Structures are given as structure tokens and as C-alpha cells.
């Protein structure tokens, strides 16, 4: 047989069988969504969800999460029933070892032990075990305590019954992520704290303790009013002023447990947070669809019953939901999530049940509280009139977004290729930097749009003010796909949109302003993977005959440390801006696809992203003050 024939051979020997937890280590992204920050923290959520499942089914009253001093080791414990330790009839191993080493093994499939559960895929604990360099499980059952250790999914010790008797029952899982799987293994305190507080809101009556050994802090979360308290917190965080004093609340326990709390506010956007069995569903799903459908029908019925729609005004679902802030939490027996990360619910039957529960309850509440309902009606009518007025301004911008070059902004230096192909639009800070970029670019597929100064903060601006802004108009027109609800990616004129600002603090601020605009008004560019951030160098470091480029101070110090042989004295140049760079330098460091560095803009956590942008870019200065004060000690250098 020839070598060529041998290479093409495909038979049974080519089929690789991954046994046990090998598939998890081979393709972790299939189980936790990726190995970045979101995937790393998903390990905690999987173990935490198991403890929450014990609590929501009435078997536990307290959950404790401890972040150890190294910042990379976590212990999650509860006072639930404890994972069984007796021998499993099928695997011939202890039930504890089975749960932690076999995919799709758990106590949530038979429907007898858990009425509702957040982790019904049955892979959570075993996946965490597979992706941990070390995992220790301690179980208290029947007056005794048991311990078993694992590494990378494999047992490192047999199940041991520890000496002495103990009181109570429960499970404690301690694990450290495997650094060969995750680029970074240090957990974020704020992210953990936020998730724990949410758990205490969604499961009222349960105490959730957070022991933060990194920052030497302890905190207990306990909320008797549940999501009503949560709604108050969200309103305060968003600085959203309600237009009616008491919130609309609903709790139904049959056939599914549905809880919701909502208030209309003076804000111009809708903000809804939804959960299924305590799991945040950032991408919504059938429960959110049912909620919105029931809400829309209830409000429309109230309008029609009392003949409240003014002549010439068209009420849309967007008008009804404008300014609405709501929390929706449901508990169902067999949730069907989209993917292991569980950020979207797919159960089709939930939509109709949500609609059927919410519509009559909200309609009755409005009829029983006429003064409150009339205020909501006035708010909706005002939104409809404002939306109609803004359509003209939006259409004016949309008319400029056509593909004809004669209609494009005058300061846009477009690329020569007519099709989208591999084209790129660089949004550049200032005319000076724009000049260097225009000279240094590849004219065939790279377009340059210089923006003057710092762009408008669209988080705090009205739609009318935003549409009147020349820089925003030019930006939307050049991109070509429209804006807001009328955005159509088929009209996008470029394959990639790249933000290119100076590498200093001013440049970072401009990039943040642009990111705010894209996140709020053109989010499809982010979800479709079209938005990027260029990383131009801040320093040029010449050592002997070699030239190195440093993106920031940390990068500069690393270069100096790597070449600290004393033979050549380094010559360091700090760029004041992109306009200082020669076109050839800008090309080789920032524009050339073969040598440049780009950051792809992605959203790992919709709720957290929304909160951060609202805090940092919104009207409420106190949120920014808190952000600065909480992080003041970590700032090693202040650029003013």
C-alpha cells in the first residue's frame, strides 16, 4: 500500500472512543460554554445549583460558599440531606463516586426526590470534577462523616468514613480549577457575591453565607420578601423612578410555581430579569415570551374596556413595556434549557401557561387600582406619542444608510472593494490619527472613519438628541445597516467594525463611549461577532537593533525584564496618540492582519453587562463613586 493511500484510509481504527469524563476535558466548551471567565465561574454555579436544589425542595435552610485565600479554591456546603454514600447497584461504586465521575448520573431524574431543580442535565458535579485539579467531597449522613478525593475526574482515594460521630446532614464540595484547562483560575469576588445575593432573593427564607478569605470579609444574605426586595434593589441600582408606589406582584403555585414583581418607571427602556428554578436566563425563552404576551393582552384589554386610546395614537407592545422593570421567576419540574449553560428556556408549554396566569391577574389588579392604572395608561400614551415623533428622526438617519457612496459621510475614506467581502471599517479618534490610518491602511479592503473628540454618551442622551448628533449620524450612515429596532444586518457594509483609539486613558474612555452606543443601539453587531477593539501600542522599546511594542505599562515592564542583560540600554518612547505614529508603523503594529492584535467584543453575562454600563455611563453619579471607592486600593497608577 502506498503512503498516499495510507493517509486516506478511514476505517474502524480511526474512531476514537472517549470514556468516562474524557469528553469533558477534551471539549470543555460543550459543557460549560468555554474556558474564559464565564466558563470558569460556571463551575461554581453548577455546585451551587445543587445546594440550591436541596433548599428549594425543603431539605436545606442554609448554604455557605467560601472563597479561600488563594482565590482559586472554593468550598460550597449546605445542610441538606447529603449525597448518598451507599453502593450503587449498577455501577458497583458508592453513589457519591458515581455522581462525581459518571455523566448523567444524579438524583433528579426519577422525579421522586426533587420536585424542581436547576441542574437537570445531570452532568454538573461530574463536569466540575473533570475540570478540577483537585476536588474533595465531604458528606454528613446518618451521624457519620465521609470523605473522598479526586483529581481531574479520577478518584485519588477510596470513600473514607471519618472517625467520630457528627450532628446534622449535608454536603461540602471543595475544588480548584485545572490550570491546564483554564487560562486564568482566579475567581472574581464581585461576580460570586452577586450570584449569591440573587439566590437569596429568588429563594426567600434561605440564608446564604459568603466567606471571602481573599478580602477577609463575611456576609449573609437573607430576604424575607424575596423578589419584591429584589425589585426594589434593581430600581435603586438603575436609578429608575417608579410612576406608581406599590409594585404588581403575583405568586402562583399550581401547576407550576410562578413569581413576578414589576413596576413602570420614568426610564425609557424595558428591564426584565428572568429565572428558571433559580437559574438566570439572560437570553430569555418561552417564559419571557409568555410574560410579555400576557402583559400586552392585559393592558390592551384595560385600554379597550375603558375606551382610553386617543384618536390617531397607535399603541405598540414597545410602548406598553417602555419603562417597565420586572423580575420573573418560575419553578418547573422538567426545564428544557438551550445548552448546558442554561441561559434560555425552551419548554413550549410554559409560554401559554405564563400568558394564561398573568393576563387575568394583571387585568384585575389594574381594574381594582384605577388611580394606579390611569397613571400607567398615561405613561404608555406618552411613550407612544414620543415613539411616533422619534420615528421621523430615526427615518432621517436610516435614509442616509443606503449603499450609494454619494450618500456616505464626506470624511469617510472608503475602501476600493465594492462588496462586503473581507472589508473592515476602522472608527478612529480624531483627524490626526485618521490621517495616519488613511495613509497606512490597505486601501482595497480597509475603510477609515475619523470621529471628532469624544462621542456623545448615548446612555444618558434622549433618542432625539442622539439622532441630531453629527458623529452618531456619520457612524450609523457609514455602517449601513440602520439602528434600533429597524437594524438589518443584510445592509451591513463591512465584515468587521473595529474601534481604534489611543492606548491611553482618554482613548479607553472614547472606546467605552462607543461600546455603550453599540451595546444599546446596535447590539446585533456584537451578537453576530462583527465588533472588535484594536490594540495599538502605547510604548516603543528599542534595545540594541531590536524594536519591541508594548500595549501598556505592564507589557513594557515585561519587555524590559525579558531583556535585562545590561548589554544595551533600552530607549523607550511613549506615544501621545495614534497621530504621532508614522503610517508604516501604524500599519505594522495595528492595521496589518498578520501582525496586529484585536479584541473581539463578546457578552458573557447580559445582566452583569447591563448593570455595569448603567452604573458607569448612566446619570446616577453615586454608582460611579461607589465603583471608584471600592476599587481605589487596587489602582497602581492614575492617569489624569
Q: Which of 393, 422, 450 is the last residue of a domain?
A: 393
Asked whether residue 174 is assigned to any structural domain, the reply reads yes
Cell numbers standing for residue 151: 483529581
**What's the average model confidence in pLDDT over 170-174?**
95
Asked whether residue 6 is assigned to any structural domain, the reply reads no
Cell numbers standing for residue 97: 463516586
**What's the average model confidence in pLDDT over 410-435?**
85
The lowest-confidence range among 212-216, 243-247, 407-411 is 407-411
Catalytic one among 53, 288, 343, 429?
429
d(CA 502, CA 328): 42
Asked whether residue 276 is assigned to any structural domain, the reply reads yes
Beta-ladder partners of 211 = 66, 218
**What's the average model confidence in pLDDT over 223-234?**
93
What percent of the chain is predicted at pLDDT more than 70?
87
Q: What is the pLDDT of residues 26-85, one digit of tens each?
A: 888 888 878 888 889 999 999 998 898 888 778 899 999 999 999 999 999 999 999 988
Highest mean pLDDT among 173-187, 302-316, 564-578, 597-611: 173-187
Asked whether residue 217 is assigned to any structural domain, the reply reads no
**450 and 322 in a common domain:** no
**249 and 174 in a common domain:** no
Higher-scoring residue by pLDDT: 269, 601: 601
- At a CB cut-off of 8 Å and minimum separation 6, what does 636 contact? none
**121 and 45 in a common domain:** yes
- Model confidence at 265: pLDDT above 50: yes
- How far does Cα 202 stand from its chain's mean position? 19
**235 and 180 in a common domain:** no
Coil/strand/helix, residue 429 = strand
Higher-scoring residue by pLDDT: 184, 618: 184
Catalytic one among 72, 355, 502, 610?
502
Cell numbers standing for residue 390: 422619534
Q: What one-character DSSP code corresponds to residue 111? A: S
**What's the average model confidence in pLDDT over 495-499?**
94
Asked whether residue 5 is assigned to any structural domain, the reply reads no
- Model confidence at 406: pLDDT above 60: no
**What's the average model confidence in pLDDT over 511-517?**
90
The per-residue pLDDT for 258 is 92
Catalytic one among 186, 229, 506, 615?
506
Omega before 255 within 30 of 0, i.e. cis: yes
Q: Is 78 one of the annotated active-site residues of the chain?
A: no
**315 and 267 in a common domain:** yes
The lowest-confidence range among 216-230, 311-325, 361-375, 617-631 is 617-631
- Model confidence at 432: pLDDT above 90: no
Q: Which of 347, 368, 393 is the last residue of a domain?
A: 393
d(CA 368, CA 365): 5
**420 and 375 in a common domain:** no
Cross-sheet strand order for the sheet of 279-280: 248-252, 257-264, 324-331, 271-276, 279-280
- Model confidence at 467: pLDDT above 80: no
Catalytic one among 62, 149, 186, 504?
504
**238 and 172 in a common domain:** no
**509 and 437 in a common domain:** yes
Higher-scoring residue by pLDDT: 118, 488: 488
Expressed as residue numbers, the domain containing 347 is: 227-393
d(CA 549, CA 527): 31
**What's the average model confidence in pLDDT over 576-594?**
86
Predicted TM-score (pTM) of this structure: 0.59
- Model confidence at 560: pLDDT above 80: yes
Radius of gyration of the chain (CA): 28
Higher-scoring residue by pLDDT: 89, 154: 154
Question: Quick check: 56 and 203 in contact, CB under 8 A?
Answer: yes
d(CA 51, CA 45): 10
The lowest-confidence range among 162-166, 323-327, 489-493, 628-632 is 628-632
Asked whether residue 351 is assigned to any structural domain, the reply reads yes
Q: Is 318 one of the annotated active-site residues of the chain?
A: no
Reported as a pLDDT band with limits 50, 70 and 90, residue 121 is: very low
How far is the first Cα of the chain from the last one, in angstroms, to the nearest whole number?
72
- Model confidence at 462: pLDDT above 80: no
**365 and 238 in a common domain:** yes
Question: Quick check: 587 and 552 in contact, CB under 8 A?
Answer: no
Mean pLDDT of the chain: 84
CATH number for the domain spanning 347: value is: 3.30.230.10
Asked whether residue 78 is assigned to any structural domain, the reply reads yes
Q: 7 vs 2, 3, 12, 15, 17, CA distance in Å?
A: 9, 6, 14, 15, 21
Higher-scoring residue by pLDDT: 363, 621: 363
Higher-scoring residue by pLDDT: 450, 1: 450
**479 and 386 in a common domain:** no
- Model confidence at 636: pLDDT above 80: no
Q: 312 vs 64, 315, 384, CA distance in Å?
A: 57, 10, 10
- Model confidence at 531: pLDDT above 90: yes
Q: Is 349 one of the annotated active-site residues of the chain?
A: no
Q: Is 506 one of the annotated active-site residues of the chain?
A: yes
The lowest-confidence range among 219-233, 334-348, 531-545 is 334-348
Reported as a pLDDT band with limits 50, 70 and 90, residue 340 is: low
Q: What is the pLDDT of residues 70-119, one digit of tens each?
A: 999 999 999 999 998 888 878 788 889 888 988 755 444 344 444 444 44
CATH number for the domain spanning 450: value is: 3.40.50.670
Q: What one-character DSSP code corresponds to residue 186? A: P
Reported as a pLDDT band with limits 50, 70 and 90, residue 550 is: confident
**383 and 415 in a common domain:** no
**101 and 144 in a common domain:** yes
Asked whether residue 271 is assigned to any structural domain, the reply reads yes
**Rounded (to 5) percent helix, strand, coil in the chain:** 40, 20, 40
Reported as a pLDDT band with limits 50, 70 and 90, residue 628 is: confident
- Model confidence at 419: pLDDT above 50: yes
The per-residue pLDDT for 110 is 41
**What's the average model confidence in pLDDT over 196-213?**
92
CATH number for the domain spanning 75: value is: 3.30.565.10
Tell me the HSE value of 600 on the side-chain side, using a 13 A CA sphere: 11
Reported as a pLDDT band with limits 50, 70 and 90, residue 5 is: very low
Q: Which of 362, 393, 424 is the last residue of a domain?
A: 393
In the numeric block, the cell 393576563 is attached to 359
Domain count, the chain: 3
Question: Quick check: 506 and 521 in contact, CB under 8 A?
Answer: no
The per-residue pLDDT for 72 is 96
Characterize 431-455 residue by residue with b for buried, 16 or more Cβ atoms within 10 angstroms of its Cβ, and e for exposed: eebbbbbbebbeeebbbbbbbeeeb
Amino acid at each position: 500500500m502506498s503512503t498516499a493511500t495510507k493517509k486516506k484510509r478511514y476505517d474502524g481504527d480511526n474512531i476514537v472512543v472517549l470514556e468516562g469524563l474524557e469528553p469533558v476535558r477534551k471539549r470543555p466548551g460543550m459543557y460549560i460554554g468555554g474556558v474564559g471567565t464565564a466558563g470558569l465561574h460556571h463551575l461554581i454555579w453548577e455546585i451551587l445549583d445543587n445546594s440550591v436544589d436541596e433548599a428549594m425542595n425543603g431539605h436545606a435552610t442554609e448554604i455557605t460558599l467560601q472563597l479561600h485565600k488563594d482565590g482559586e479554591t472554593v468550598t460550597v456546603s449546605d445542610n441538606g440531606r447529603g449525597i448518598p454514600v451507599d453502593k450503587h447497584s449498577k455501577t458497583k461504586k458508592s453513589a457519591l463516586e458515581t455522581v462525581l465521575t459518571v455523566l448523567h448520573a444524579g438524583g433528579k431524574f426519577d422525579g421522586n426526590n426533587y420536585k424542581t431543580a436547576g441542574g437537570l442535565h445531570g452532568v454538573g458535579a461530574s463536569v466540575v470534577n473533570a475540570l478540577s485539579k483537585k476536588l474533595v467531597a465531604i458528606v454528613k449522613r446518618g451521624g457519620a462523616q465521609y470523605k473522598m478525593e479526586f483529581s481531574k475526574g479520577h478518584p485519588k482515594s477510596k470513600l473514607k468514613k471519618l472517625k467520630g460521630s457528627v450532628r446534622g446532614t449535608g454536603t461540602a464540595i471543595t475544588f480548584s480549577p485545572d490550570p491546564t484547562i483554564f487560562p486564568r483560575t482566579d475567581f472574581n469576588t464581585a461576580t460570586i457575591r452577586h450570584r449569591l445575593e440573587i439566590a437569596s432573593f429568588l429563594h426567600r427564607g434561605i440564608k446564604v453565607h459568603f466567606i471571602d478569605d481573599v478580602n477577609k470579609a463575611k456576609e449573609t444574605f437573607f430576604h424575607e420578601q424575596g423578589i419584591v426586595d429584589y425589585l426594589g434593589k434593581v430600581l435603586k441600582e438603575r436609578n429608575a423612578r417608579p410612576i406608581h408606589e406599590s409594585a404588581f406582584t403575583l405568586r402562583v403555585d399550581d401547576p407550576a410555581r410562578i413569581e413576578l414583581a414589576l413596576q413602570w418607571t420614568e426610564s425609557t427602556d424595558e428591564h426584565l430579569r428572568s429565572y428558571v428554578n433559580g437559574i438566570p436566563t439572560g437570553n430569555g425563552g418561552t417564559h419571557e415570551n409568555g410574560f410579555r404576551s400576557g402583559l400586552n393582552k392585559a393592558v390592551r384589554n384595560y385600554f379597550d374596556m375603558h375606551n382610553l386610546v386617543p384618536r390617531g395614537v397607535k399603541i405598540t407592545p414597545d410602548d406598553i413595556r417602555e419603562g417597565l422593570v420586572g423580575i420573573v421567576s418560575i419553578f418547573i419540574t422538567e426545564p428544557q434549557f438551550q445548552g448546558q449553560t442554561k441561559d434560555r428556556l425552551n419548554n413550549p408549554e410554559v409560554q401559554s401557561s405564563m400568558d394564561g396566569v398573568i393576563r387575568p391577574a394583571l387585568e384585575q389588579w389594574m381594574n381594582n387600582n384605577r388611580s394606579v392604572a390611569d397613571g400607567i395608561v398615561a405613561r404608555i400614551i406618552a411613550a407612544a406619542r414620543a415613539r411616533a415623533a422619534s420615528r421621523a428622526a430615526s427615518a432621517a438617519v436610516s435614509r442616509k444608510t443606503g449603499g450609494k457612496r454619494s450618500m456616505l459621510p464626506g470624511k469617510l475614506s472608503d475602501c476600493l472593494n465594492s462588496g462586503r467581502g473581507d472589508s473592515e471599517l476602522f472608527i478612529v479618534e480624531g483627524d490626526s490619527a485618521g490621517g495616519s490610518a488613511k495613509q497606512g491602511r490597505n486601501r482595497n479592503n480597509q475603510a477609515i472613519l475619523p470621529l471628532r473628540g469624544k462621542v456623545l454618551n448615548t446612555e444618558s442622551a434622549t433618542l432625539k438628541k442622539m439622532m441630531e448628533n453629527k458623529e452618531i449620524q456619520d457612524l450609523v450612515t457609514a455602517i449601513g445597516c440602520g439602528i434600533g429596532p429597524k437594524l438589518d444586518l443584510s445592509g451591513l457594509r463591512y465584515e468587521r467594525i473595529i474601534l481604534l483609539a489611543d492606548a491611553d486613558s482618554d482613548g479607553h474612555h472614547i472606546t467605552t463611549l462607543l461600546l455603550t452606543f453599540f451595546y444599546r443601539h446596535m447590539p446585533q453587531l456584537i451578537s453576530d461577532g462583527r465588533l472588535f477593539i484594536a490594540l495599538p501600542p502605547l510604548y516603543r522599546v528599542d534595545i540594541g537593533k531590536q524594536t519591541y511594542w508594548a500595549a501598556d505599562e505592564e507589557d513594557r515592564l515585561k519587555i524590559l525584564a525579558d531583556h535585562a542583560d545590561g548589554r544595551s540600554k533600552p530607549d523607550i518612547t511613549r506615544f501621545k496618540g495614534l497621530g504621532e505614529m508614522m503610517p508604516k508603523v501604524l500599519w505594522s503594529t495595528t492595521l496589518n492582519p498578520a501582525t496586529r492584535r484585536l479584541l473581539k467584543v463578546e457578552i458573557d453575562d447580559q445582566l452583569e453587562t447591563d448593570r455595569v454600563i448603567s452604573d458607569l455611563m448612566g446619570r446616577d453619579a453615586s454608582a460611579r463613586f461607589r465603583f471608584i471607592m471600592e476599587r481605589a486600593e487596587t489602582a497602581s497608577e492614575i492617569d489624569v
